[in-house]
């Protein structure tokens, strides 16, 4: 099989589904992995023949151990791993009990570590790419994100560790930090106040779209990014680069 294969986690909806669609538009095959069985079924109906579904939980080491042989049995190769599966659970520090902390860490951080480790042998064979999805919450701290923000900051460092160590095998590892996108994940934790605050703090003055994030992910997995590794790219409308006072200084 000569067609390239992308393994996308959390591919049943949101940014992961948009990424799977874009890979297919670019001629790739897609292994769409998600633990939401019903959503995955719906997603596969829209993705068509170029995608196959894999119903696994990235936070569960036993699942991960079974998922990779399953993907390889179906496709024979993995050229890109997109660690996109993530959960958001916001709350004040004093109300973040250990169970909530672990719920966030086990998917957002453990899942990225486990999936990447399990895929490394296959990625060595293809001199493939890893793209980890962190968040602007991993770049700049904010309230209520003690678990989420910390998990995403750790994903940024994990990406750099992967780039440092896997470069000699010609595996590239990069990280995308999306700004706010109106997905199910974000809308569950973004109140109207948070939405307004984001608009104020973002130079482009709006949320991003799933497609805009997918474009960066697919670029980083492509040959066009063949000399890019260890990088953290914020696709965030300028949120990370700016300081205070933006709304007051706007001309309109
Ligand atoms: N939407 C935003 O505003 C935003 C901003 C910054 C970062 N992100 C990150 O982008 C990624 C995608 O988020 P989204 O907004 O598309 O979310 P979403 O909730 O729409 O989709 C996430 C998908 O991941 C799956 N998933 C979650 N945990 C899983 C697990 N343990 N194993 C397998 N599948 C799992 C879910 O079932 C779901 O289909 C996440 O890592 C998120 O943290 C999102």
CA–centroid distance, 83 to ligand 1, in Å, is 10
Contact 78, 128 (CB under 8 A): yes
Residue 132 makes CB contacts below 8 A (sequence gap 6+) with 83, 112, 116, 155, 158, 159, 162, 173, 174, 175, 176
- Using the structure block, give the residue that is written with the tokens 């994030």: 213
Distance 242 CA to ligand 1 centre (A): 25
Q: Quick check: is 44 in a domain?
A: yes
pLDDT of residue 249: 80
Distance CA 96, CA 173 (A): 31
Q: Range of 141's domain?
A: 5-238
Is the minimum distance from the CB of 145 to ligand 1 under 6 angstroms? no
Binding site membership of 183 for ligand 1 (Cβ less than 6 Å): yes
Cα separation, 71 vs 56, whole angstroms: 11
Is 92 inside a domain boundary?
Answer: yes
Q: Which residues are catalytic?
A: 148
Token pair of 63 as six digits: 């699942």
> Into how many domains does the chain fold?
1
| Residue environment code for 124-141, b if the CB has 16+ CB neighbours within 10 A, otherwise e | eeeebbbbbbbbbbbbbe
Stretch among 15-19, 101-105, 192-196, 217-221 having the lowest mean pLDDT:
192-196
**pLDDT band per the 50, 70, 90 thresholds, residue 243:** confident
pLDDT digits (tens, 9 = 90+) for 20-49: 999 999 999 999 999 999 999 999 999 999
Question: Residue 245: inside a domain, yes or no?
Answer: no
Please report whether residue 243 resides in a domain: no
Q: What atom in ligand 1 is closest to the CA of residue 63?
A: 32
CA distance 131 to 136: 15
Residue 123 placed within a domain = yes
| Domain contains 252 | no
Assigned domain for 162 exists:
yes
- Strands of 70-226 (E only): list them: 80-83, 129-133, 172-178
Assess if residue 71 is contained within a domain. yes
CATH number at residue 179: 3.40.50.720
Least Cα distance to 111 among 87, 76, 92, 146 occurs for 87
């Amino acid at each position: 099989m000569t067609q390239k294969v992308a393994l996308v986690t959390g591919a049943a909806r949101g940014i992961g589904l948009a990424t799977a669609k874009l890979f297919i538009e670019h001629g790739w095959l897609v292994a769409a992995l998600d633990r939401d069985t019903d959503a995955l079924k719906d997603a596969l109906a829209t993705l068509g023949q170029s995608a196959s579904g894999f119903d696994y939980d990235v936070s569960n080491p036993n699942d991960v151990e079974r998922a990779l042989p399953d993907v390889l049995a179906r496709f024979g190769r993995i050229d890109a791993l997109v660690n996109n599966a993530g959960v958001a659970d916001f709350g004040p520090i004093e109300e973040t009990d250990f169970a909530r902390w672990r719920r966030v860490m086990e998917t957002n951080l453990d899942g990225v570590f486990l999936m990447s480790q399990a895929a490394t042998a296959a990625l060595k064979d293809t001199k493939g790419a890893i793209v980890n999805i962190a968040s602007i919450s991993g770049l700049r701290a904010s309230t209520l994100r003690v678990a989420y923000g910390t998990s995403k900051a750790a994903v940024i460092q994990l990406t750099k560790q992967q780039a440092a160590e896997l470069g000699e095998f010609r595996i590239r590892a990069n990280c995308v930090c999306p700004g706010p996108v109106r997905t199910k994940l974000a809308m569950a934790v973004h109140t109207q106040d948070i939405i307004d605050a984001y608009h104020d703090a973002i130079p482009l003055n709006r949320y991003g779209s799933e497609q805009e994030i997918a474009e960066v992910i697919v670029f980083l997995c492509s040959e066009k990014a063949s000399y890019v590794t260890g990088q953290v790219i914020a696709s965030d409308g300028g949120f990370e680069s700016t300081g205070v006072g933006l709304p007051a200084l706007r001309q309109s």
